[in-house]
Amino acid sequence: MYAVQQPLAASTLQDVMGVPAWKSHPSWFLVAGNDQAIPPDAERQFAKRMGATTVEVPAGHVAMVSHPDDVAQLIKTAAEAVQTAR
């Protein structure tokens, strides 16, 4: 993952963001219960504010590596829900 990570553009911290998509679209959120980069309580707070369907796994910051099946299932559930809504 490190090999493909790119630095932020210089303008990133100056850009003005519009209305976040989660305010008008359904959202899903994976909480990494053992994350040491983003506190899990903060992740839970973000998910709650978004009204997101939330799944929590006992994983660190890269849950997609340590719990790929859980992540894939969350994506599949989200995709199916969006298809059903259409």
Flag whether pLDDT at 86 surpasses 90: no
**Local confidence band at 4 (pLDDT 50, 70, 90 cut-offs):** confident
Q: Which of 27, 72, 74 is nearest to 48 (CA)?
A: 27
For residues 1 and 61, is the Cβ–Cβ distance under 8 A?
A: no
pLDDT at 54: 97
**Local confidence band at 34 (pLDDT 50, 70, 90 cut-offs):** very high
Mean pLDDT, to the nearest integer, of 4-17?
Answer: 86
**Local confidence band at 13 (pLDDT 50, 70, 90 cut-offs):** confident
Mean pLDDT, to the nearest integer, of 2-20?
Answer: 87
